[in-house]
Structure 1
């Protein structure tokens, strides 16, 4: 038996909590939980009814405040959101997931999103996905500490070049 979540709105804050819940449940696919996943996860969360699960929402939200746990959730999101027969995320899904995970916290997200919208990229691979988080955490919004000789994926190098050109206008 598979439990299906209703259609989710990726701009709604509660959606990120559903992603954290899916991570806690170790659900392999977006929007679906097997009975085994559900029971195992609910046991680990010590939830035996809807009311107790509702009571855990604040706890799930706090998981996002721990940098290590957030990195784990962020990495989980890549495999969770991609089509299982693909090695990459299609760009629409990548943009939606990035908006969900980084949109409220990364000051450069709006311009990065604009860059992706106009770029040639149709997919985002796992290396690019992982590095976007690292970039968002380490590079200052004014790009003052960006190392052009660093080992960033080409996509991020191109973003910096594109953004600097826009700033120079």
Structure 2
């Protein structure tokens, strides 16, 4: 049993597809029957477990958004940093919401994978949940980026 758990833990940390499957399952598994959203404290607890694990093992390695500017190399672009998860929690607690929708849960994973470290390349015209739009403004403020 220990060997299987060690293997699954390693797979979760290193395999982006497996990580996404477990991540999406976590929302469905954790949501109370008949509810459409996950309580904020539950969402934060699961994010606190999953996101750092995926970052450490590279399952959440930064993926650059498609770049139309062919003269700039974006392969070494920095992405989500571990401390941003605490910012996310602070932002959500300040905002005062009670739950996290499935859309926000799923899009947050894509957001973590694709956002640049300074939140400068965030596309406000894309179909992100408004909570993520607001968080980008919050994070830019913390970074001193306009």
Query: Is 1:85 matched with 2:61?
Result: no
2:113: which partner in 1?
137
Q: Which SS does the other structure have where 2:34 is aligned?
A: coil
Picking from 16, 34, 44, the partner of 1:95 is 44
The separation in 2 between residues aligned to 1:111 and 1:95, in whole angstroms, is: 12
Q: Judge conservation of contact 1:88–1:123 (CA < 8 Å) in 2.
A: yes
1:57: which partner in 2?
5
Normalising by structure 2, report the TM-score: 0.74
The separation in 2 between residues aligned to 1:141 and 1:102, in whole angstroms, is: 16
Gaps of 5+ in 2: 56-79
Q: Judge conservation of contact 2:124–2:133 (CA < 8 Å) in 1.
A: yes
Q: Which SS does the other structure have where 1:124 is aligned?
A: strand
Alignment of 1:5-154 (within 5 A): 53-64=1-12, 65-104=14-53, 105=55, 106-107=80-81, 108-154=84-130
Normalising by structure 1, report the TM-score: 0.65
1:87-125 per-position Cα deviation (integer Å, ceiling 9, x unaligned): 100100011111111135251212111111211321001
Greater Cα radius of gyration, structure 1 or 2:
1
The total of aligned residue pairs comes to 117
